[in-house]
């Protein structure tokens, strides 16, 4: 029984490290898209993907250091990412972010 | 000049703004023994209001939320200072905080601390400052 628990813990640790490495590779590829992206919309979409990958990394790190305090951080990154992407999209579309009168 | 159609954005905003405000209240109340507190709660509330401003425009939000955010700054500072002044009533040094256990009707026994009132002041001040900065920058044309 004890051996099984130890094996499970080791399995979780190894798979989490593999996932962190995979997400890091994904972040590097997204960074290339941010740098050489031909248009600004490409950069906006790549930044969105970077934010989602950061959420994943925060969750995986909270598995490595065994804690639940990072759950708020994951939600916070998601919310700020949504608002930031919305602001970029609105600026690219209309030129203003908060407009005076919409109708 | 074409008329923009923001149906998806507006519907999403009316759902997500509630989640953001609820999360802000959670962060404010959970600040005592987990990450969070007045500062992050105020910033979350400000981001919810900014989201509403972005999707509905300045006139509509000013109609449903008739608050001059500049007046929130002195109100919050007054709350924070008055929690410090209140400690003089009980003959203890400035900004001494205390706590007690109370039995509320629905929640049962809870621990209420006066540091919460100070956090409320921080919350209101941060909300006022952030919204004042953003709306002042957005206004010039």
So what's the ipTM on this one?
A: 0.82
Q: Which residue of A has its CA nearest to B26?
A: A72
CB-CB contact of B10 with B53 (8 Å)? no
CA–CA separation, B74 vs B90, rounded Å? 25
> Please, how many CA atoms are within 13 Å of residue B29, restricted to the half-sphere of its CB?
9
Give the nearest partner residue to A99 out of B34, B51, B57, using CB atoms.
Answer: B57
Mutate to test the interface with B, among A78, A80, A86 (most CBs of B within 10 A): A86
Q: Per residue in B28-66, pLDDT tens?
A: 998 888 888 899 999 999 999 999 998 888 888 889 889
Distance from CA of A79 to the nearest CA of B (A): 8
Query: CB within 8 A of B70, min separation 6: which ones?
Result: B128, B132
CA–CA separation, A103 vs B116, rounded Å? 42
Q: Which pLDDT score is estimated for B141?
A: 58
User: Given an 8 Å threshold on Cβ–Cβ distance, is B36 in contact with A72?
Assistant: yes
CA–CA separation, B53 vs B136, rounded Å? 13
How many H helices and E strands in chain A? 3, 0
User: Which of A52, A39, A38, A36 has the alpha carbon at shortest distance from A84?
Assistant: A52
CA–CA separation, B41 vs B126, rounded Å? 9
What number is the average pLDDT over the span A23-49? 93
CA–CA separation, B117 vs B84, rounded Å? 10
Q: Which residue of B has its CA nearest to A102?
A: B57
The answer to whether residue B78 scores a pLDDT higher than 70 is yes
Residues of A in contact with B36 (CB under 8 A): 72
Residue B117, helix vs strand vs coil: helix
Q: Per residue in B59-75, pLDDT tens?
A: 888 898 898 999 999 99
Tokens 């590779």 identify what position? A25
Question: Percentage of chain A with pLDDT > 70?
Answer: 98
Q: Which pLDDT score is estimated for B114?
A: 84
Q: What is the DSSP string of B26-73?
A: HHHHHTTTSS--HHHHHHHHHHHHHHHHHHH-HHHHHHHS---GGGHH
Residues of B in contact with A75 (CB under 8 A): 23
User: Given an 8 Å threshold on Cβ–Cβ distance, is A79 in contact with B44?
Assistant: yes
Distance from CA of A3 to the nearest CA of B (A): 34
DSSP state of B84: H
Q: Which residue of B has its CA nearest to A68?
A: B34
Sign of the C-alpha dihedral, residues B67, B72, B75, B80? positive
User: pTM for the full model?
Assistant: 0.86
User: Which of B39, B36, B19, B18 has the alpha carbon at shortest distance from B27?
Assistant: B36
Q: Which pLDDT score is estimated for B2?
A: 64
Residue B125, helix vs strand vs coil: helix
User: Given an 8 Å threshold on Cβ–Cβ distance, is A69 in contact with B36?
Assistant: no
Q: Which residue of A has its CA nearest to B60?
A: A101
More confident residue, B113 or A77: A77
Give the nearest partner residue to B59 out of A86, A94, A100, using CB atoms.
Answer: A100
Q: Per residue in A14-29, pLDDT tens?
A: 999 999 999 999 999 9
């Amino acid at each position: 029984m004890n051996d099984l628990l130890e094996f499970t813990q080791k399995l979780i640790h190894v798979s989490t490290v593999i996932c962190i490495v995979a997400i890091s590779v994904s972040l590097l590829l997204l960074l290339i898209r941010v740098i050489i992206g031909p248009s600004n919309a490409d950069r906006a979409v790549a930044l969105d993907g970077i934010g989602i990958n950061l959420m994943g990394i925060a969750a995986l790190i909270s598995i490595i250091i065994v804690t639940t305090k990072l759950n708020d951080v994951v939600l916070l990154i998601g919310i700020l990412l949504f608002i930031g992407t919305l602001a970029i999209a609105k600026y690219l579309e209309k030129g203003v972010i908060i407009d005076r009168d919409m109708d | 000049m074409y008329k923009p159609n923001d149906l998806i954005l507006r519907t999403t905003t009316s759902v997500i703004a509630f989640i953001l405000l609820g999360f802000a209240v959670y962060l404010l109340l959970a600040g005592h023994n987990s990450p969070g507190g007045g500062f992050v709660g105020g910033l979350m509330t400000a981001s919810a209001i900014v989201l509403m401003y972005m999707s509905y425009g300045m006139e509509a939000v000013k109609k449903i939320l008739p608050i001059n955010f500049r007046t929130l700054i002195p109100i919050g500072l007054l709350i924070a200072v008055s929690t410090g002044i209140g400690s003089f009533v009980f003959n203890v040094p400035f900004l001494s905080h205390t706590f007690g256990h109370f039995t509320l009707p629905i929640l049962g026994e809870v621990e209420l601390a006066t540091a919460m009132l100070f956090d409320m002041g921080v919350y209101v001040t941060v909300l006022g400052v952030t919204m004042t900065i953003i709306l002042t920058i957005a206004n010039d044309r």
